[in-house]
Structure 1
Amino acid sequence: MLKIDFHDETNSIDEAFVDLIQRVLAFAAEKEGVIGDTEISVTFVNNTQIQELNRNYRQKDKPTDVLSFPMEEPGEEELDIHDEELPRMLGDIVISVDKAEEQAGEYNHSLEREFSFLALHSLLHLLGYDHMEEKEEKEMFQRQEDILHEFGLERS
């Protein structure tokens, strides 16, 4: 079962958004075959806070929409996401509320869809997906769209 620990550093997130993200991420985890006790954290911040994290961890001194901080890196010593032997901490998701609001307007869709997209995108990173190469990017973005579509959150 996926346990999500939410933190709102902006004091602006409605419980309905938290509930939606909880449901989307649990749905996605099930679709990805995540079993056993698995934990993640989701933190909502503003652009200043995410810019500081982006600068410190990625050496990019600008705000971004979402950051993922995996607790486990794929490797021989790591547990498989389908291994239910231990409770596991997958990692942290940090979402910029400012960027999410801005992008929802740019892409002409709801804030609900933008928050869901960003949270799902970050979860997929925690599960090992990446988009550094074109093939990986196509696979990851298609997986995101498939999950959001099946959940019922399509693009406007």
Structure 2
Amino acid sequence: MVALALVLPAVEVCRDWAFVDRNTGSRKGHRDWFLGWRTGSWYQESVIEAFMRSNYPAEFRQDWVSYAGTGRNIFGRATLHGHDRPGPILLLKPEVIADYCSSAGEMEKRRLYEVFASGDGEKIRDLAIHITETVMMAEPDKTEPVSNLWRTANPSKPRRSRLPGRRRN
């Protein structure tokens, strides 16, 4: 019994996965169980994906890359963390892309896709900064801090809030 108590916390029973499409910023994820089941699937389509699917379906390509792969034990605790390097597109939440695209024309949306699909990290990073600054300037009274705009979107992982009475220094 003691051996079982020592082994159980180290045994991975499931893994939570999250992926980002480097070409559009869309997100998806699921949970894989050690018996082969897949549960908790979610999908968050970006405005760029919807635009490309409807206007340029022949040219539309996706490039999914993992940005989270957390193994969990029987108690739900993380046992393993693994992910790929998705690049600067991960810095943009789909909501920020949607805010930017709400005032962008067809040519600008097409340009966004082309820059993201180019794989040029520097151009993508510059574009991500431009998008974030444009969205923040359009909504100066927005209460969400810039750091939250850059937080990755993973609906399977809720945000952790501070405990009442604890202050950040």
Q: TM-score range by the shorter chain?
A: under 0.3
Higher normalized helix content (fraction of residues): 1
Compute the TM-score of the two structures, normalised by the length of structure 2: 0.23
Compute the TM-score of the two structures, normalised by the length of structure 1: 0.25
